[in-house]
A = this chain, B = another copy of it.
Amino acid sequence: SRSINLAVIPGDGIGQEVVAEGLKVLSAVLPQDVKLETKEYDFGARRYHATGETLTDADLDALKQHDAILLGAIGDPSVPSGVLERGFLLKLRFAFDHHVNLRPSRLLPGVDTPLKGEPAIDFVVVREGTEGPYTGNGGTIRKGTEHEVATEVSVNTAFGVERVVRDAFARAQARPRKKLALIHKNNVLTFAGHLWTNIFNKVAEEYPEVTTEYMHVDAATIYLVTQPERFDVIVTDNLFGDIVTDLAAAVSGGIGVAASGNINPSGEFPSMFEPVHGSAPDIAGQGKADPTATVLSVALLLRHLGLEAEAARIDEAVAADLGERAGKPARSTSEIGDALAVRVAG
């Protein structure tokens, strides 16, 4: 018999509600012989207001003991922009070396898309998670004066780029279509762009079966709305990945169903799974949030822990549930969670 020792971070706003449903479905899907232990952590706006802390060294030590982390959402208008993002979310991704930020996009039957023609969307974005413009490198001089200068430094290393490019090639090789697109802006960001492009082309030689293409990020946004079916696996940097995955979510059913994993493939640190959406304070506490993205993030978590059959059961349950939604009255957060829990248990 085995056990999962899970850290649970509900966070702010709708995070609380959607995580509760994620755990409900997780409990329902696990076989008897897998023991689930959970420990809840109070990170987010409340902790910040109460103590001024976002994520301490002691917190990191505690989180490190877990097999994985399930996160709801972090962020609240009462906290200045950047404090929780840099002080918690990004701090954790960097501290736990979550360099593979995995974001699948599938347009499931019955799900509404803003695009005409119901395109066959089924791709996964491998977003680099520990480098690029997200390092916090940069600064400000003469702040608040008419002579202020602010810089942001995108830092890209061969080490960091190669490991995420290799991860993406391995994923492309394992998929039926075996296609991989690199998205960057190598005609303008020539230093980082050439590093990415050269490593991509070098690793490509080891994967002769994988069909590759390169695309500038601006052109990629066009293809994501005009030909999203052309994508299979995408690999890209941290900032471009942030942008294209929100757009990808929008065209494939909305951020209500977009899941993500912040993965440390070596297992040295626990990986973290979270819906792509934010804390949505405007609808918090009203039972209106769709927990589907969190439930799909639980599937990514199970897959990461080697529980493929259970992950697949969740994916199927979600697909079935979404397929039956059209024309029915909207259900509450917990009603959707209940329905999914019944399906995965059945």
How far apart are A125's CB and chain B's nearest CB, in angstroms? 12
Q: Are B188 and A86 in contact (CB under 8 A)?
A: yes
Q: Are B193 and A219 in contact (CB under 8 A)?
A: no
Q: Are B158 and A147 in contact (CB under 8 A)?
A: yes
Residues of A124-147 at the interface with B, using a CB-CB cut-off of 8 Å, are 133-134, 136, 138-140, 142, 144-147
A151 on the B face (CB < 8 A): yes
Q: Are A194 and B114 in contact (CB under 8 A)?
A: no
By a CB distance below 8 angstroms, the chain B residues around A191 are 138-140, 150-152
Scoring A75, A134, A153 by chain B CB atoms within 10 A of each residue's CB, the highest score goes to: A153
**Please, how many angstroms separate the alpha-carbon atoms of A148 and B161 in the complex?**
10
A222 on the B face (CB < 8 A): yes
A67 on the B face (CB < 8 A): no
Q: Are B86 and A190 in contact (CB under 8 A)?
A: yes
A251 on the B face (CB < 8 A): yes
By a CB distance below 8 angstroms, the chain B residues around A150 are 156-157, 191-192, 194-195
How far apart are A204's CB and chain B's nearest CB, in angstroms? 16
A16 on the B face (CB < 8 A): no
A30 on the B face (CB < 8 A): no
Tell me the nearest residue of chain B to A142, going by C-beta. Answer: B158
A34 on the B face (CB < 8 A): no
The quantity of this chain's copies bound in the complex is 2
The one of B144, B189, B250 that contacts A225, using a Cβ cutoff of 8 Å: B250
How far apart are A84's CB and chain B's nearest CB, in angstroms? 8
Q: Are B225 and A225 in contact (CB under 8 A)?
A: yes
A242 on the B face (CB < 8 A): yes
1/0 per residue, CB under 8 A from B, across A239-257: the answer is 1001111110111001100
Scoring A75, A150, A158 by chain B CB atoms within 10 A of each residue's CB, the highest score goes to: A150
Tell me the nearest residue of chain B to A82, going by C-beta. Answer: B190
**Please, how many angstroms separate the alpha-carbon atoms of A193 and B148 in the complex?**
13
**Please, how many angstroms separate the alpha-carbon atoms of A304 and B102 in the complex?**
46
The one of B75, B148, B162, B222 that contacts A158, using a Cβ cutoff of 8 Å: B148
By a CB distance below 8 angstroms, the chain B residues around A153 are 138, 151-154
Q: Are A188 and B90 in contact (CB under 8 A)?
A: yes
Q: Are A249 and B222 in contact (CB under 8 A)?
A: yes
A186 on the B face (CB < 8 A): yes
Known A-B contacts A148-B195, A154-B138; the reply to A82 vs B219 at CB < 8 A is no
A209 on the B face (CB < 8 A): no
By a CB distance below 8 angstroms, the chain B residues around A187 are 75, 81-82, 85-86
**Please, how many angstroms separate the alpha-carbon atoms of A273 and B153 in the complex?**
31
By a CB distance below 8 angstroms, the chain B residues around A249 are 222
By a CB distance below 8 angstroms, the chain B residues around A194 are 82, 140, 150
1/0 per residue, CB under 8 A from B, across A155-179: the answer is 1111100100000000000000000
Residues of A250-304 at the interface with B, using a CB-CB cut-off of 8 Å, are 250-251, 254-255
**Please, how many angstroms separate the alpha-carbon atoms of A155 and B145 in the complex?**
16
The one of B154, B244, B246 that contacts A133, using a Cβ cutoff of 8 Å: B154
Q: Which 8 A-B pairs have the closest CB atoms?
A: A218-B246, A221-B247, A148-B158, A150-B191, A152-B154, A82-B190, A150-B195, A85-B187
* A82-B190, A82-B193 known, 7 other contacts, Cβ within 8 Å: A75-B187, A81-B197, A82-B187, A114-B226, A139-B191, A222-B247, A225-B250
